[in-house]
Homo-oligomer: A and B are copies of this chain.
Amino acid sequence: MMKLMEDEVFRAFSTYAAVVVVKMMLMSPMTAFFRFTRGAFANEEDVARKSPEERKKLLRTDPDVERVRRCHLNDLENIVPFVVLGLLYSLSGPELSSALLHFRLFVGSRIFHTLSYVGSLPQPCRALGFMVGLLTNVSMAYRLLSSVMVL
């Protein structure tokens, strides 16, 4: 194993980054699941075996499919910053307890965000999940920039 991985903070980052990225990847099978159960496809070749009439019906958008897709895109928009800022923040020498707090808050908030989004929970559930994740990222960016800034 490489030197980097002997650092406790970096191992913690690796763990939480892997967990939240795997969570994000699961949105793809979930989209496929909703596409099949709701009968809503986006590509001609996905419905090629059906009769011409059925095809037209199946090439449509469905609110549940679109909901999962919006959730997936929101994941990308927030988990990419977490991974970038978290990696660099981990290398900037934070205390383990402080780093763990950031990582746990972020991953927890994104899991809560997904449950709120896909489950259509009443607001402000989804907004709260989103905000906690965003603020965690901002906090890591601030800590990182204040310790390593070179412009």
Contacts and interface: CB of A to CB of B under 8 A. Distances in A.
B120 A45 contact: yes
A116 B84 CA distance: 25
Chain A contact residues (Cβ within 8 angstroms of B): what range? 35 or more
Nearest to A67: B43
Interface of A: 1-5, 7-8, 10-12, 14-15, 17-19, 21-22, 24-25, 27-29, 42-46, 48, 67, 70, 72-73, 76-81, 83-85, 88, 91-93, 117, 120-123, 126, 130, 134, 137-138, 141, 144-145, 147-151
A145 B15 contact: yes
What copy number does this chain have within its complex?
Answer: 3
Contact of A18 (B4, B43, B88, B123): B88
B150 A2 contact: no
Nearest to A116: B45
B77 A80 contact: no
Nearest to A93: B1
15 contacts: A1-B92, A2-B10, A3-B3, A8-B150, A18-B88, A21-B81, A21-B141, A25-B77, A27-B77, A28-B77, A43-B67, A45-B120, A45-B121, A45-B123, A79-B80
